[in-house]
């Protein structure tokens, strides 16, 4: 257990599955009390239940992070329970609709940017008043897409939102340094999660824009497979802890050297 995390309080968005769930469980194993936010009520309650059964402390809330009123209520619920906030893992996100730019509906662009970019902004904005006195750590899940990789055909909205998160994280790191709040960004590569199940693909129009790619044998050089949610969760714990106490404004790539091919 990391002693510097013991007794702290964290909010994790997108905590019902994948990276968010793995990070929440790992933070709990290190003594962190958790407010878990996710749109999927049953999933976030399941994560909270698993943490409680393992001896940790967590409360779950059904939250659409693009809705400021829902976020405010969830933060209030968490603060009423725990009285403080030290760590924010702004992780909630969607792939959205994959389509050619020409055929991508405006409302689908808005939904992806609303969840990923606006949702991150609101999650951070509403946390600041509760972190200013003691400082703390904010961690944002971005992606290799929009930062190092641009071959995800049909992912223009997703990539734009992920590039926006990285830029926002750097701006926030400097601005919030006045309050000793650190802000860092993680850009995962291929990770085994269920995000693709909620992805809508416009196969007909994707075929119009796809450019053939030939990868060297093995797209994931380091381990020969996509990463696990726990591979990112361990980085979250590092960035949340005192071990990264002089890091802010950094962008960490967790892709097993995938984007160096």
Structure tokens at 120: 């991150």
Catalytic residue among 75, 158, 179, 253: 158
Q: Token match 């009423």: residue?
A: 80
Residue 179 annotated to the active site: no
Do 185 and 251 contact (CB within 8 A), yes or no? yes
Distance separating alpha carbons of residues 161 and 146, to the nearest angstrom: 8
The CA distances from residue 210 to 45, 150, 203, 204, 205, in Å, are 40, 12, 10, 11, 9
Catalytic site positions: 158
């Amino acid at each position: 257990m990391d002693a510097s995390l013991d007794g702290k309080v964290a909010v994790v968005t997108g905590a019902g599955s994948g990276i968010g769930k793995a990070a929440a469980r790992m933070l709990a194993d290190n003594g962190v009390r958790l407010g878990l936010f996710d749109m999927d009520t049953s999933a976030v309650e399941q994560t909270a239940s698993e943490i409680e059964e393992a001896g940790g402390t967590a409360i779950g809330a059904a939250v659409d992070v693009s809705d400021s009123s829902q976020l405010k209520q969830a933060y209030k619920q968490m603060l009423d329970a725990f009285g403080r906030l030290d760590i924010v893992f702004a992780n909630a996100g969607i792939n959205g609709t994959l389509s050619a730019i020409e055929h991508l509906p405006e409302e689908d662009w808005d939904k992806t940017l609303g969840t990923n970019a606006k949702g991150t902004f609101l999650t951070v904005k509403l946390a600041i008043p509760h972190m200013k006195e003691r400082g703390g750590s904010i961690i944002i899940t971005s992606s290799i897409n929009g930062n190092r990789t641009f071959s995800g055909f049909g992912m223009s909205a997703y990539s734009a939102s992920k590039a926006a998160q990285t830029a926002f994280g750097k701006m926030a790191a400097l601005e919030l340094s006045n309050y000793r709040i650190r802000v860092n960004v993680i850009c995962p590569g291929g990770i085994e999660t269920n995000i693709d199940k909620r992805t809508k693909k416009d196969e007909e129009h994707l075929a119009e824009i796809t450019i053939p790619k030939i990868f060297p044998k093995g797209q994931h050089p380091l381990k020969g497979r996509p990463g696990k949610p726990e591979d990112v969760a361990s980085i979250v714990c590092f960035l949340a802890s005192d071990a990264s106490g002089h890091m802010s404004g950094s962008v960490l790539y967790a892709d097993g050297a995938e984007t160096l091919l």
